[in-house]
Amino acid sequence: MAQAFTVALVQNRAGKHMDANIAECSDLVRQAHAQGADLICLPEMFSCLHSSDGQLHVGPHPEDSHPALQHFSNLASELGTWIQPGSVAVEMPTKKLRNRAVMIDPTGALVAQYDKVHMFDVDLADGESYRESEVFESGDEAVLAPTPWGLVGLTVCYDLRFAYLYRSLAQAGASYLTVPAAFMRTTGKAHWHVLLRSRAIETGCYVFAACQWGSHGDAVTYGHSLVVAPWGEVIADGGDSGGVVMAEVDPAQVEAARAMVPALRHDRSLRSPKPVSVGRASG
């Protein structure tokens, strides 16, 4: 059985200037490490996020020269800790971008990378509209990252609404799920807590969800970075301001939750539903 460990979630409010965002998050990572964190998670687009006049600024770079990935790889090595640096915008040969999450081990090596599969293309109330697919292209692969405590399923933000992804990660061996996010305040108030708790309950996994907070030009994110236990209880909530939230993680709780409700063992494959024709009653 894996040993208990401490997870920390960084909650920042990124702007246009990558150097400033990296410096702020670096300070928060050091703070978390000083408080005993073994795994430190950051939000989606923590290194650059600003929206104005319909333009989304996310600071894209090729992966092998991305300043944020280079910085936190070096920092993980310096501190000797695991870092899941949220997600960053990575330039692709197609000229589009990928919203990429990685896991960095204590030597500074990238041990896994995941490209966000589901694009946030929505029209909300009061004219609030987002078209992530105009900037990003989708990934097409679910990814598990190895850690000393077990496998971690990597996901990003809007993926949260697609339960099948989390189910597949749990069925493949994940005990923990990361959901770095820049969840909008409108949808966050309505759905953030209930969706994260649902993903934990459905899979019997711990869920680590670091989320940005506050205004980024025209966009406003929700905050409330959460750690959710496998039984569905929220054990840490970052509220609606910046900082670090920490929680103790007991891997035994994963097995305990799955033993009480062994739903993963009860999955069944079903034939696709067929439309049913309903005739009008005669006479």
From 25, 116, 205, 211, the catalytic residue = 116
- pLDDT for residue 281 is more than 60: no
Check whether domain 5-264 has CATH 3.30.750.24, yes or no: no
Q: How many other C-beta atoms are found inside a 10 Å radius of the C-beta of residue 178?
A: 28
State the catalytic residue, choosing from 24, 25, 41, 44: 44
Distance in angstroms (rounded) separating the CA atoms of residues 78 and 76: 6
Q: Does residue 116 carry a catalytic annotation?
A: yes
Average pLDDT for 169-193 = 97
Report the distance separating Cα 3 and Cα 15, nearest Å.
37
> Burial level of 86, CB count in 10 A (0-12/13-18/19+)?
buried
pLDDT in tens, 47-73: 999 999 878 899 999 999 999 999 999
Which pLDDT score, from 0 to 100, does residue 132 have? 86
Q: Which of 82-96, 119-133, 195-209 has the highest mean pLDDT?
A: 195-209
| Average pLDDT for the chain | 94
> 163-171 and 193-203 helices cross at what angle (nearest 10)?
30
Q: Could you say which of 25, 41, 48, 157 is catalytic?
A: 157
Q: Give CA–CA dist 171/206, Å, rounded.
A: 14
What are the residue ranges spanned by the domains of the chain? Answer: 5-264
Strand partners, 248: 6
Put simply, whether the predicted model's pTM sits higher than 0.85 gets the answer yes
Are 183 and 222 a contacting pair, CB within 8 Å? yes
- Token couple for 207: 């869920």
Q: Residue 127's pLDDT band (boundaries 50, 70, 90)?
A: low
Query: Contact 165/202 with Cβ under 8 angstroms?
Result: no
Q: What share of the chain is helix, strand, coil (3-state, %, to 5)?
A: 30, 35, 35
Task: Report the number of secondary-structure helices (H) and strands (E) in the chain.
Answer: 6, 19
